[in-house]
Amino acid sequence: MRRNRIAVLAATATATATATVIALGVIAAPATASPSSHASVRPAGKAAGKDADKAAGKAADKAAEKAAALRKAIDGLPDGTATAAQVRYKDKDLHWSGASGEADVRTHTPAKGDERFRAGSITKTFTAAVALQLVHEGKLDLDGTVQHYLPGLLPAHYPDVKVGQLLNYTSGLPGGDTRGTPKGPDWDKGRYTTWDHRALVRAGFGKPMEFAPGTQQHYSNIGYNVLGLLIEKATGRTYEQELRDRVINRAGLKDTYSPGTSFRIKGRHTHGYEALENADGTTRLVDTTEWDQSETWASGDLITTTADLDRFVSALFAGRIVPQQELKLMFTVPEVPQYESGKPAVYGSGLARVQLTKGGPVYWGKTGSRYGYLNGFAATQDGKQSLIYSVNSTDAKRENASPDSRVGRIIVAGVGTPSA
């Protein structure tokens, strides 16, 4: 396949990879290897006596039930909806990790749980962390405007857009249509296209503003790709260098990186697949692993593992990546309505607020998807409970988290059943 050119960034090589097409029936059978998991039940405190022993016993039983529920949530892969899953969970009584399915359905290689995958929009949390560090250092100002830092980037008739509004999705900037419609005839549009970063940002600027900045919240990629440009302007270095030095290395992440213009994933990884319907009604799988992620860049190009996400979330929530003053912004949701739906906003700066049950615990996290990859993390603000998952969904761009979906079952097993 030919790598296209967009704006000033030209391809330097020809992509010779061909998409692998696999009959869906290949993955209908159970996995060739037994699913793997590991659980450690954390010991109770030193308090003695019957009451303490009883409490410890209940905690152990509850931890065992949780581990069994998580195991059940990922059993039976590969199947018609997903080829593999990797999950990590922890609370005060249990640390659990597990994997199921096949990292590669052609070779039937079992997923072990330490494979890399495309993180998708989880990248935004990393980008927010870099931007908030720069705010703390005075290199960016939350009230500073894009027009001030990057003159000429936005159309002259657009109103002022602030850095803080980019972070919490209230900028009102319109996004560009850089990819095809899921399951549509152009679903793999631009698969081997390399986007210049400014061209990526400007792709939607023929449209009017969606709303006045700061008045509504609309989750989209545009604001975080502008933040990528701001990070480069404020530091004089590339976004990828700043992300590596300020977040990846600081958090001790061993298998996380930005791929740049490479369409491959380095090292051991799970393959992503998209299920497509043939003209005769049968279904085939197309290997989507190789894909130029410059179409998402600072909003979604990261490659990582569940272990690295666990380290990242722990370090971030503990204040070891973003200083406490700016970290509060990640847990602060603006009091504005969501665009179009009118429901209350749910996103802070790089994190989403999630409360699954009425009166239940509040979780903060982020989801992300690319074709063949559906991922997410959620944790309590104190970091004592967290769930991290990566599912190789065969319909990742359209699958929701309903309790009967694969991802929904993982969420229910980890952090509870959503209330009506």
Largest CA-CA distance found in the chain, in angstroms, rounded: 73
Burial class (CB in 10 A: 0-12, 13-18, 19+), 166: buried
Q: State both tokens at 392.
A: 């190789």
Q: Using the structure block, give the residue that is written with the tokens 């391809």.
A: 11
Query: Around 415, how many Cα atoms within 13 Å sit in the side-chain half-sphere?
Result: 30
In terms of pLDDT, which residue wins out, 242 or 19?
A: 242
pLDDT in tens, 177-193: 888 888 888 899 889 99
Cα–Cα nearest to 119, from 379, 369, 406, 397:
369
State the DSSP code for 236. Answer: S
Q: Are 13 and 277 in contact (CB under 8 A)?
A: no
Instruction: Provide the sign of the torsion angle of the four alpha carbons 103, 391, 97, 298, taken in this order.
Output: positive
* Size of the chain in residues: 420
CA distance linking residue 109 with residue 348, whole number of Å: 39
CA distance linking residue 296 with residue 205, whole number of Å: 16
CATH of domain 4-415: 3.40.710.10
pLDDT in tens, 313-350: 999 999 999 999 999 999 999 999 999 999 999 999 99
Q: State both tokens at 382.
A: 């104190």
Quick one: pLDDT at residue 23? 47
CA distance linking residue 69 with residue 356, whole number of Å: 17
Q: Using the structure block, give the residue that is written with the tokens 């699913």.
A: 35
Q: Are 86 and 111 in contact (CB under 8 A)?
A: yes
Burial class (CB in 10 A: 0-12, 13-18, 19+), 12: exposed
How many separate helices (H) and strands (E) can be counted in the chain?
A: 10, 15
Query: CA gyration radius for the chain?
Result: 22
Confidence category of residue 24, pLDDT binned at 50, 70, 90: very low
Quick one: pLDDT at residue 374? 97
Query: Around 354, how many Cα atoms within 13 Å sit in the side-chain half-sphere?
Result: 21
Q: Are 256 and 158 in contact (CB under 8 A)?
A: no
Quick one: pLDDT at residue 331? 98
Quick one: pLDDT at residue 402? 81
Confidence category of residue 48, pLDDT binned at 50, 70, 90: low
Q: Where are the domains of the chain?
A: 4-415
**For residue 9, pLDDT beyond 50:** no
CA distance linking residue 130 with residue 214, whole number of Å: 22
pLDDT in tens, 249-289: 999 999 999 999 999 999 999 999 999 999 898 999 999 99
Global pTM value = 0.91
